[in-house]
């Protein structure tokens, strides 16, 4: 029995593959895993804090410092005589610094507090604030370091009431900014243009800033064309923010913004005021150029609007007025049928082609016939036998129809193109139109047939497939007066350099040249002189003691939506002895060039030059 018992006891001792053995192995394995994990964690902490510590410190510093762009003051515009046309005026706004208005707890608490303070000010001023929960929420989310606008452009009374109430409102401040000011409201509107608030243009420089406020940037006219010069260079300041983006302090030294450059325009203030006044209640345009340089002395378009009263609401109304199109600068963008003001160019082309000589006469019986089709002269009884000077003085249709058809389109085009028709003027304004240079392909594209002789006939009296802007008309009549040079028109005479470095002057430049001989040009000049200076001539209504003028009238027949009407033209230059000025006037739905447009040219020169220019 004893032997058996010993055997049993020996058989109950643990073996390596029992449960206790397996547990021991698992404990060792778990321990090794924990040890390995701890070692990996310690290694990672060492790497982050010691090996990469400096890199992370620099990243944290970058995240806690924000660069904010400071907006510059926009440059001014002056007339040639120094009259201020556009400058800046200070306005006062109320802003909230949300960093100083934070409330403990969720963002909703801060939002509600800001709304409460905004309502408090609204009741005091009896004025609706710009605040709403959505506006505040967006600002807190994206721009917590920037001031939050509450009220803008306070009146003097509102400014006093706000100053009385604001000290108890932590985080509220009255700040100053500038808006455009127009000392001569309604004058040179389409030339000056307007601004709108938007972010500065994207580029490498803009990426340096964490926050960029919207700034006034050009949207039309000279404000747009010279936007970079007028806008100036932005300044900057550095602020330290907390982890939520709220400003903690300003650090470093501010870099002040560089003000925009001033523009000295070529516009003569007296001429511009007169041109705008003469167009009141009319639709059309007036352009006056320096015939020797191409400088724009006056440029008016009507209907117009008042830049001082322009807002988002009024702009929408102007945009919706498609019948009058007050936003359109008719002086440079409208394509008008020229009518008889093109006849001096047709006469030049005919003489250059040898089709007619200055002394040669043609008979006008009151109409020009294409088979059974008659194109009538405005003088129903006819002008009788006329030479070129007579035809220009009396604006004889049959004369120019005859020489134009005989000349042919191919020989007309070089003179018309040399005058600048069909070429967009390189004027320093956006949206200048090119007009329409006659082309054989035009007939096929628009009329579904080839070009025929009658098309050339109509072009020869400024009808059909030809169009131009008042600016283009002024450019080529200036060339007729100055001896054949079509100058590039410009409105900015000089730009003020930064740091008081004087002015950068605009140098006159030639755009085209009339491909004609001086003797032929002199014949046309004589005809235009007699058109104004002779008693009973077509442009006699432009005659004035203020200046000796040579000119040409035009009455263009237009059909729009089945309704026929006339646009009245006058072009001219003077003084005749030494031409300095060139003018183009067009009035939509006028009676005739002689009765509607020519008198306006006379009034403009009398108002301008007799007023002590």
Q: Which residues contact 456 (CB under 8 A, 6 or more apart)?
A: 404, 405, 408, 409, 412, 438
Q: Which of 360, 353, 601 is nearest to 477 (CA)?
A: 601
Q: What is the predicted pLDDT for the residue at 60?
A: 47
Q: What is the predicted pLDDT for the residue at 167?
A: 63
Asked if CATH classification 3.30.1360.170 holds for the domain at 269-314+330-609, the reply, yes or no, is no
Q: What is the predicted pLDDT for the residue at 252?
A: 66
Neighbours of 165 (CB within 10 A): 15
Neighbours of 160 (CB within 10 A): 11
Rounded CA separation 385/54 (Å): 99
- 191 and 429 Cβ atoms separated by less than 8 Å: yes
Q: Which residues contact 397 (CB under 8 A, 6 or more apart)?
A: 340, 364, 368, 375, 376, 377, 378, 461
Rounded CA separation 551/538 (Å): 9
Count Cβ atoms within 10 A of the Cβ of residue 446 and give its class: 0-12 exposed, 13-18 middle, 19 or more buried. exposed
Q: What is the pLDDT of residues 469-512, one digit of tens each?
A: 999 999 999 999 999 999 999 999 999 987 666 889 999 999 99
Residue 54: what are its φ and ψ, rounded to 5°? -65, -40
Rounded CA separation 143/58 (Å): 23
Which residues partner with 290 through β-bridges?
581
Angle (CA) 199 204 208, round 5°:
75
Q: Which residues contact 75 (CB under 8 A, 6 or more apart)?
A: 229, 230, 231, 232, 259, 260, 261, 262, 263, 496
Rounded CA separation 429/191 (Å): 7
Q: Which of 300, 309, 346 is nearest to 462 (CA)?
A: 346
Domain boundaries, the chain: 66-265, 269-314+330-609
Beta strands 65-70 and 235-241: pairing type?
Answer: antiparallel
566, 567, 568, 572 alpha-carbon torsion, rounded to 10°: -140
Q: What is the predicted pLDDT for the residue at 201?
A: 62
Alpha helices (H) along 267-327 = 269-278, 312-320
- 226 and 218 Cβ atoms separated by less than 8 Å: yes
Q: Which of 513, 518, 592 is nearest to 556 (CA)?
A: 592
Residue 253: what are its φ and ψ, rounded to 5°? -110, 130
Q: What is the predicted pLDDT for the residue at 158?
A: 85
How many residues are present in the chain?
Answer: 613
H/E element, 528: helix 518-533
- 101 and 110 Cβ atoms separated by less than 8 Å: yes
Which residues partner with 264 through β-bridges?
78, 494
pTM of the shown model: 0.83
> Which stretches of the chain drop beneath a pLDDT of 70?
1-23, 46-69, 166-167, 201-213, 236-239, 241-250, 252, 499-501, 611-613
Rounded CA separation 420/511 (Å): 8
Residue 283, helix vs strand vs coil: coil
Q: Which of 351, 472, 460 is nearest to 418 (CA)?
A: 472
Q: Which of 606, 604, 609 is nearest to 273 (CA)?
A: 604
CA distances from 369 to 344, 454, 557 (A): 22, 10, 19
- Its sign, for the CA torsion 510, 512, 515, 520, is negative
Rounded CA separation 248/241 (Å): 5
Query: Does residue 105 come out as left (phi exceeding 0), alpha (psi in the -120 to 50 range) or beta?
Result: left
Integer Rg of the chain from CA: 39
Residue for token digits 């409460």?
Answer: 116
Q: What is the predicted pLDDT for the residue at 246?
A: 56
Q: What is the predicted pLDDT for the residue at 286?
A: 98
Q: Is the peptide bond before 575 cis (omega within 30 degrees of 0)?
A: yes
470-482 vs 518-533: helix crossing angle, rounded to 10: 110
Residue for token digits 């762009």?
Answer: 69
Supply 467's token pair. Answer: 């169009």
Hey, what CATH topology would domain 66-265 get?
Penicillin-binding protein 2a (Domain 2) (3.90.1310)
Neighbours of 515 (CB within 10 A): 14
Q: What is the predicted pLDDT for the residue at 76?
A: 95
Do 269-314+330-609 and 66-265 have the same topology in CATH? no
CA distances from 252 to 66, 126, 241, 255, 452 (A): 12, 40, 14, 9, 77
Q: What is the predicted pLDDT for the residue at 204?
A: 57
Q: Which of 469, 466, 514 is nearest to 487 (CA)?
A: 514
Rounded CA separation 284/585 (Å): 8
Q: Is the peptide bond before 303 cis (omega within 30 degrees of 0)?
A: yes
Q: Which residues contact 296 (CB under 8 A, 6 or more apart)?
A: 191, 266, 267, 287, 288, 289, 290, 427, 489, 490, 491
């Amino acid at each position: 029995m004893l032997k058996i018992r010993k055997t049993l006891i020996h058989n109950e001792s643990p073996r390596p593959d029992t449960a206790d053995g397996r547990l021991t192995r698992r404990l060792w394995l778990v321990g090794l895993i924990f040890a390995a994990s701890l070692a990996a964690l310690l290694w990672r902490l060492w790497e982050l804090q010691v090996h990469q510590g400096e890199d992370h410190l620099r990243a944290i510093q970058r995240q806690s410092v924000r660069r904010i762009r400071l907006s510059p003051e926009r440059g001014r515009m002056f007339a040639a005589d120094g009259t201020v046309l556009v400058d800046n005026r200070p306005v006062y706004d109320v802003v909230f610094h949300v960093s100083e208005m934070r409330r403990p707890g969720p963002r909703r608490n801060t939002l509600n507090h800001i709304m409460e303070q905004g309502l408090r000010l609204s009741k005091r001023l009896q004025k609706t604030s710009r605040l709403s929960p959505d506006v505040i929420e967006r600002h807190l989310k994206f721009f917590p370091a920037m001031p939050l606008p509450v009220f803008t452009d306070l009146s003097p009374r509102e400014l006093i009431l706000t100053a009385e109430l604001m000290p108890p409102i932590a985080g509220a401040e009255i700040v100053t900014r500038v808006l455009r000011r127009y000392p001569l409201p309604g004058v040179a509107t389409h030339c000056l243009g307007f601004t709108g608030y938007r972010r500065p243009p994207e580029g490498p420089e803009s990426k340096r800033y964490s926050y960029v406020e919207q700034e006034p940037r050009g949207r039309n006219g000279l404000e747009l064309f010279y936007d970079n010069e007028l806008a100036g260079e932005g300044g900057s300041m550095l602020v330290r923010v907390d982890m939520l983006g709220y400003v903690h302090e300003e650090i470093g030294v501010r870099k002040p913004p560089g003000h925009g450059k001033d523009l000295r325009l070529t516009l003569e203030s007296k001429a511009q005021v007169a041109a705008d006044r003469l167009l009141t209640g009319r639709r059309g345009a007036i352009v006056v150029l320096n015939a020797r340089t191409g400088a724009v002395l006056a440029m008016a378009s009507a209907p117009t609007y008042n830049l001082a009263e322009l807002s988002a609401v009024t702009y929408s109304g102007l945009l919706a007025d498609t019948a009058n199109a007050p936003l359109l600068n008719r002086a440079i963008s409208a394509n008008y049928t020229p009518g008889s003001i093109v006849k001096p160019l047709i006469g030049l082309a005919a003489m250059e082609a040898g089709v007619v000589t200055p002394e040669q006469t043609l008979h006008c019986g009151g109409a020009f016939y294409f088979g059974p089709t008659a194109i009538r002269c405005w003088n129903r009884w006819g002008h009788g036998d006329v030479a070129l000077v007579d035809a220009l003085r009396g604006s004889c249709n049959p004369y120019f129809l005859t020489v134009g058809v005989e000349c042919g389109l191919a020989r007309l085009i070089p003179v018309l193109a040399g005058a600048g028709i069909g070429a967009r003027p390189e004027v320093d304004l956006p949206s200048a139109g090119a007009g329409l240079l006659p082309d054989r392909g035009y007939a096929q594209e628009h009329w579904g047939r080839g070009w025929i002789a009658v098309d050339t006939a109509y072009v020869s009296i400024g009808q059909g497939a030809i169009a131009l802007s008042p600016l283009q008309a002024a450019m080529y009549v200036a060339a007729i007066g100055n001896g054949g040079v079509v100058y590039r028109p410009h409105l900015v005479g000089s730009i003020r350099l930064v740091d008081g470095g004087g002015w950068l002057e605009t140098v006159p430049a030639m755009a085209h040249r009339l491909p004609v001989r001086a003797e032929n040009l002199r014949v046309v000049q004589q005809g235009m002189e007699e058109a104004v200076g002779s008693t009973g001539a077509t442009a006699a209504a432009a005659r004035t003691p203020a200046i000796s003028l040579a000119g040409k009238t035009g009455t263009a027949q237009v059909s729009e939506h089945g309704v026929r009407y006339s646009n009245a033209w006058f072009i001219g230059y003077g003084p005749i002895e030494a031409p300095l000025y060139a003018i183009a006037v067009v009035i939509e739905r006028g009676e005739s060039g002689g009765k509607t447009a020519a008198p306006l040219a006379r009034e403009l020169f009398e108002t301008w030059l007799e007023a002590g220019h």
